[in-house]
Structure 1
Amino acid sequence: MPESLAVRRADVSNAITRVHEVLDAFASRDHSGEILTAIRHFPAREAQVADFPEWVNANLVSAYAAKGIRRLYTHQAAAAEAVHAGKNIVIVTPTASGKTLCYNLPVLNAVLENSDARALYLFPTKALAQDQLAELYDLNQRLENRFGVFTYDGDTPADARKSIREKGHIILTNPDMLHSGILPHHTRWTRLFENLRYIVLDELHTYRGVFGSHLCNVLRRLRRIARFYGRDLQFICCSATIANPGELASRLVESEVEVLDSNGAPAAEKTFVFYNPPVVNRALGIRRSYINESARVSQEFLKHDLQTMVFANSRLHTEILLTYLQQANPRLPGKPETIRGYRGGYLPNERREIERGLRDGKIRGVVSTSALELGIDVGSLDTVVMAGYPGTIAATWQRAGRAGRRSGSSCAVLVASSSPLDQFMVRHPDYFFGNTPEHAFIQPDNLEILVNHLKCAAFELPIKPNEKFGDVDVADLCARLAAAGFLHLAGENYHWTHEAYPADTISLRSVTSDNFVIIDITGEPNVVGEIDFPSALVFVHEKAIYLHGGQQYHVEHLDFKERKAYVKRVDVDYYTDAIRYTQVRVLEIASTLRNPAAATAKLRKTSSALPDASSSFTSLISTTSFASSYSHGDVQVRSQVVGFKKIKFFTNENIGDGKLELPENEMHTTAYWITLERPLLESLPFSVSERQSGMFGLLHALESVATLLLMCDRRDLGTAIGERPPDAGQESDPIVSLRMEDAVSANAEFFEPNLYLYDAYPGGIGFSEPLFCAHDLLMQKTRELISFCECEQGCPSCVGPAGDLAPRAKEAALAILDGLCA
């Protein structure tokens, strides 16, 4: 056996031993059996291989052989054959199964056979494109530079762009650059479009919700331009495991797509652990902080010299965990930091340096948001710790897959928070391990999205009569846009006439494309990061403590005009958390159903004792008020950051607060809501504050159950409570402070409150109508969640933290539900 291989096997076996030592340590502390709720072992899997197809160019086979790839995995061979046969395909295999080769092999073969052939690779992030560039560059070197491969994104120097347009056989870019930098300037890209053959969509599962809906419209514009140049495009898609990859791919490319979901890649053994932080107060249902427990679990792995990746669900939690782990593993004098953070907002060079450090093994631990969830090559990590359930089964498996890759034993630990969804998963591990991952939904014909892309399409090429663009009446929309001054009808075609350049003002991912630059002014001004507009209001408002790479900065000034945040380095023992208020206004009701509910049930019981029961009941019910109604429709959501809290590290004590005056954010979206009408509220035997706490608690539980029923990410839904306006669309007052504490202490009761669950994206992504249709099931499952919870007065796992609510909030929430379900 070669010495290097022997050493590697010894390291792998050593890692397995150390992983088991850590798990044994956890088990020894779990006397009650309530902490480690599941330990699942997945054995190693052998590779299934096949030969290179006969049609593959001999030089390409030799180049792969020089890299150590002499045979293909069976799914790689099947994908290559399908692409060679001219089919649109979607390859669905787990992380680290060699999906890159599935598209590189047939594309490079086509380029080697015909030097005019062109391909466009789309990646959701710039980092992924850079990662794939390194792989293709290596192959190109081995093939004596027989093709041109370049990235084309916002970081590409202006003087290099012309050369890329002429010499690039394979262009690596992202949907945002395709939308704003390539399609509007297609006349400069004639060499590409006249020969374009393949479109590669990597990480397909990320194109869901609003981003996926935008991408579908961008691809409509791409196919339209390709047809203009006489090209028919072939799509090669790659996806992690989701429930409906074929449906998502065919909706995105609007063509038939063949699904290839068998996996021939080997897999190392993996241990998956569900870790539920211990209960510290059983009556209140309070557990140890999951952030602190995640830090403890991660530190246990790091102490055993296991390279560890920690995933947090927010930027703030990423930086808090990083602070804790850096304090537990102080940097040695003259040595680089071994524990690093990784998230959006770090500068590109900093992120590339961290990726290299992970591959080289110099960085032993990294704390990341979902930014490292995708297939960026960071080598073979030993363990992954997830601080909180990521929101979907698919994302959880994706994160767990970052450990181990193809060789070496690995361990993934999910540390549950107190939220109902996290608690459901760790208490019902069979649901997680036995269920298929979630569906990915898109709504490309959402008018707000589609009209914006129709404007872009008109800018790119005149819109012809009877032209199809989605499932809408294009002629009618063009006539409306012409009336608004955007288009002009010349002959039979509509032409763009507006002065503005439409793609520049449309962001594919957020409400606004404006970013703030964060500048450290402690010494010489130095750019340390960037942040999008909505996040800037939350994280870099004046007097905030901004955390970056474990370093604390005090925000001195937020300049809205110049889009700059000025910060100074500080060393404090607290961080800040923004307080946001939200108000929802109904614009248009799509559908409403009313139910007499509890009132009807009581009347039915009373009337059964009367002589002529049926006629009496009929006459009584005709004069009865309805107890509740539920609706869905269009709403306007207005939110504003109005203050902040100072939270002490480690103990989470609130040590102060402050008020802020920042701009409001407005969003037109769709919502589902329940109206609690006056008869129902007046029949509840509770005080005003207890009723209001019951409503907030009910909404807390409804959000968790809705997330589970829709199989969506919890960040896709927002919640709010507001008084029902007399008429939909009526102007409402400015945003009023409406915190849990304010509601509990208020003397005035809501007249007839609406409990809103709204789509957290402009225009909505289609969740409100399914919730409206599943109303009865939603009520039933929410009642089960609250009633089966073991706490006495409410806890974070059912109606929310007891300290934030009136004492009988749990009872009140159940009483409201009884009224809704009766």
Structure 2
Amino acid sequence: MSLLSLLFHWRADASFAPNVTAWKRIPAREGQYAPIPEDLTLALRQSLWGKGGRHTALVTGTASGKTLAYNLPVLDYLLKNPAGRALYLFPTKALAHDQLAEIREMTSVTAAAYDGDTAGHIRAKVRANAQLVVTNPDMLHMGILPHHPQWEAFFSQLRFIIIDEMHVYRGVFGSHVANVIRRLKRVAAFYGAEVQFMLTSATIGNPHELAHTLIEEPVTVITEDGSARGEKHFLIYNPPLTDEKLGLRVGVREESIRVTSDLLSYNVQTILFGRSRRSVEWMLQRLRDKWPGKAGDIRAYRSGYLPQQRREIEAGLRQGEVRAVIATTALELGIDIGGIDAAILAGYPGTIAGTWQQAGRAGRSEDASLSILVASANPLDQFLAHHPDYFFQRSPEHALLDPNNLLILLDHIRCAAFELPFQAGDSYGNLSHAQTTEFLDVLQQTGDIHHSAEKYFWMSDTYPS
């Protein structure tokens, strides 16, 4: 039995087909290929990073090869220049460790993670020896930039900064991250480093604006996707009515379990996205109750699990031992979980971009794949179920952020002053010298900094995190 057999069955199933409000078939696409360049370093650096050191943003679909696109030039450079250094920023520790494992399989470059899970006795070795460090914005803010003198050897040779999944950095969180990057650039410049950024993102409405706002540098955006893709079926499914007069329907979790159970009966490896940790655990138990003989093949994945548990589940998915996983958005990002055949979304994630991101977790090979959005009773879900063209014809939302929000900006100027004294004439981010001086004067009045000999020095006893 196969996915296509199940789809054929569903089309004729009186308990399923009437509830499908949209069935969109996205045809397969052949890949575009090119020969491997003989001189890998020169060719990759010119084609992927741009001539003259341009910063680049890759904005293409899931499983389109974005990771390989930045790994090849960075790893090739580090192999040929052992003193060089690279910094990879990921939004989550799980994604960072997943990519670290992939890097270690590819090359002999000394790569290491530096985050909250890194043991204290290992951190000094990472600072001294790692050519490539993977971390996250929180650790960069709290554990690296405030202690940059310990990272002098690393920052002085820093050549590349990779910012993966940049579409995550929006709103208040993105505004904080943009300021952390400002401080990172300031510290790197202090040690004489000339860094080159490369950013990646799922499809969003304003990739150039977002990339430019994050790094405040001219950015070349690449959106052409030449990766091969199998046929994809995308269904919007509205659970059946239980009370037509009141408009009551079967619950989204119950119906998502039923759909997932059908997929399991056809041996289709499936990921089921829940909206909360509680709903994930509830659906896990219900699905295991339906399949008591396969309880070990059905797992949950969410924040709060130990790193070892998460790695075990990820490996089980890649190897095909785990046939169904119920997950929160913790598995929405690009963690390698192999060739999942079907993705079930128990409720609308809230954005068109987020919906395509979760749906894209299925179909990471050239085989046919399936994504189903199961509508909840939420009015927005019901609107999409009754007007599916609105969803399919709309472009993904814009990712917006405001690094110059006064409260956010003032806090990060405090952090920047702690890390390095401001000199007269300095500017911060895209602020003018005069605007920066106004903020410094405010901090001087509050007693946080002291102005002496054309410099502004941090005066407080604690780190202003």
User: Is 2:277 the partner of 1:315?
Assistant: yes
Aligned partner of 2:26 in structure 1 is: 42
Residues 136 and 284 of structure 1: is their aligned pair in 2 closer, same or farther, counting only changes over 3 Å?
A: same
Q: How do residues 687-706 of structure 1 correspond to structure 2 at under 5 angstroms?
A: none
Q: Is the 8 A contact 1:53 1:81 kept in 2?
A: no
Q: How far 1:17 sits from its partner (Å)?
A: 3.2
Q: What is the identity, as a one-letter code, of the residue corresponding to 2:410?
A: V
The one-character-per-residue Cα deviations of 1:330-362 (angstroms, maximum 9, x if unpaired) are: 156xxx721111111112111111111111111
Structure 2 SS opposite 1:49: coil
Residues 83 and 176 of structure 1: is their aligned pair in 2 closer, same or farther, counting only changes over 3 Å?
A: farther
Q: What is the identity, as a one-letter code, of the residue corresponding to 2:365?
A: R
- Structure 1: how far apart are the matches of 2:45 and 2:189? 29
Q: Is the 8 A contact 2:23 2:234 kept in 1?
A: yes
Aligned partner of 2:136 in structure 1 is: 174
- Structure 2: how far apart are the matches of 1:432 and 1:396? 10
User: Is 2:250 the partner of 1:264?
Assistant: no
Q: Is the 8 A contact 2:44 2:73 kept in 1?
A: no
- Structure 2: how far apart are the matches of 1:449 and 1:53? 45
Structure 1 SS opposite 2:447: coil
- Structure 2: how far apart are the matches of 1:87 and 1:57? 16
- Structure 1: how far apart are the matches of 2:330 and 2:46? 28
Q: What is the identity, as a one-letter code, of the residue corresponding to 1:120?
A: L
- Structure 2: how far apart are the matches of 1:57 and 1:201? 21
Aligned partner of 1:342 in structure 2 is: 301
User: Is 2:66 the partner of 1:99?
Assistant: yes
Residues 343 and 497 of structure 1: is their aligned pair in 2 closer, same or farther, counting only changes over 3 Å?
A: same
- Structure 1: how far apart are the matches of 2:4 and 2:203? 30
Q: How far 1:112 sits from its partner (Å)?
A: 2.6
User: Is 2:101 the partner of 1:134?
Assistant: yes
- Root mean square deviation of aligned Cα: 1.9
- Structure 2: how far apart are the matches of 1:15 and 1:159? 50
Aligned partner of 1:90 in structure 2 is: 57
Gapped regions of structure 2 (runs ≥ 5): none
Aligned partner of 2:15 in structure 1 is: 29
The one-character-per-residue Cα deviations of 1:656-706 (angstroms, maximum 9, x if unpaired) are: xxxxxxxxxxxxxxxxxxxxxxxxxxxxxxxxxxxxxxxxxxxxxxxxxxx
Q: Is the 8 A contact 1:97 1:406 kept in 2?
A: no
Structure 1 SS opposite 2:361: coil
Q: How far 1:78 sits from its partner (Å)?
A: 9.3
Q: What is the identity, as a one-letter code, of the residue corresponding to 1:23?
A: W
Aligned partner of 2:357 in structure 1 is: 398
- Identity between Structure 1 and Structure 2 (%): 48
Structure 1 SS opposite 2:260: helix
Q: How far 1:80 sits from its partner (Å)?
A: 4.2
Q: How far 1:16 sits from its partner (Å)?
A: 3.5
Residues 352 and 80 of structure 1: is their aligned pair in 2 closer, same or farther, counting only changes over 3 Å?
A: farther
Residues 479 and 22 of structure 1: is their aligned pair in 2 closer, same or farther, counting only changes over 3 Å?
A: farther
User: Is 2:260 the partner of 1:298?
Assistant: yes
Q: How far 1:24 sits from its partner (Å)?
A: 2.8
Q: How do residues 765-804 of structure 1 correspond to structure 2 at under 5 angstroms?
A: none
Q: What is the identity, as a one-letter code, of the residue corresponding to 2:315?
A: R
Residues 446 and 330 of structure 1: is their aligned pair in 2 closer, same or farther, counting only changes over 3 Å?
A: same
Given candidates 469, 493, 506, the residue that maps to 2:428 is 469
Large movers: runs of 4+ above 4 Å: 76-80
Given candidates 152, 170, 175, the residue that maps to 2:114 is 152
Q: Is the 8 A contact 2:216 2:429 kept in 1?
A: no
Q: How do residues 166-205 of structure 1 correspond to structure 2 at under 5 angstroms?
A: 166-205=128-167
For normalisation by structure 2, the TM-score amounts to 0.95
For normalisation by structure 1, the TM-score amounts to 0.55
Gapped regions of structure 1 (runs ≥ 5): 1-13, 59-75, 504-822
Q: How far 1:48 sits from its partner (Å)?
A: 0.3
Given candidates 417, 422, 433, the residue that maps to 2:381 is 422
User: Is 2:394 the partner of 1:407?
Assistant: no
Q: Is the 8 A contact 2:48 2:69 kept in 1?
A: no
Question: Of Structure 1 and Structure 2, which has the larger fraction of its residues in strand?
Answer: 1
The structure showing larger relative contact order (alpha-carbon pairs under 8 Å, at least 6 residues apart) is 2
- Structure 1: how far apart are the matches of 2:460 and 2:387? 57
Residues 368 and 116 of structure 1: is their aligned pair in 2 closer, same or farther, counting only changes over 3 Å?
A: same
- Structure 2: how far apart are the matches of 1:501 and 1:329? 53
Question: Of Structure 1 and Structure 2, which has the larger fraction of its residues in helix?
Answer: 2
Q: Is the 8 A contact 1:120 1:199 kept in 2?
A: yes
User: Is 2:208 the partner of 1:208?
Assistant: no
Aligned partner of 1:598 in structure 2 is: none
Q: What is the identity, as a one-letter code, of the residue corresponding to 1:364?
A: R
Q: Is the 8 A contact 1:15 1:409 kept in 2?
A: no
User: Is 2:337 the partner of 1:372?
Assistant: no
Q: Is the 8 A contact 1:79 1:102 kept in 2?
A: no
Q: Is the 8 A contact 1:19 1:410 kept in 2?
A: no
User: Is 2:192 the partner of 1:230?
Assistant: yes
- Structure 1: how far apart are the matches of 2:306 and 2:8? 37
Structure 2 SS opposite 1:50: coil
Q: What is the identity, as a one-letter code, of the residue corresponding to 1:293?
A: E
- Structure 2: how far apart are the matches of 1:90 and 1:338? 38
Rg larger for: 1
Q: Is the 8 A contact 1:389 1:415 kept in 2?
A: yes
- Structure 1: how far apart are the matches of 2:397 and 2:6? 30
Given candidates 301, 307, 327, the residue that maps to 2:289 is 327
- Structure 2: how far apart are the matches of 1:448 and 1:404? 43
Q: How many residues align?
A: 462
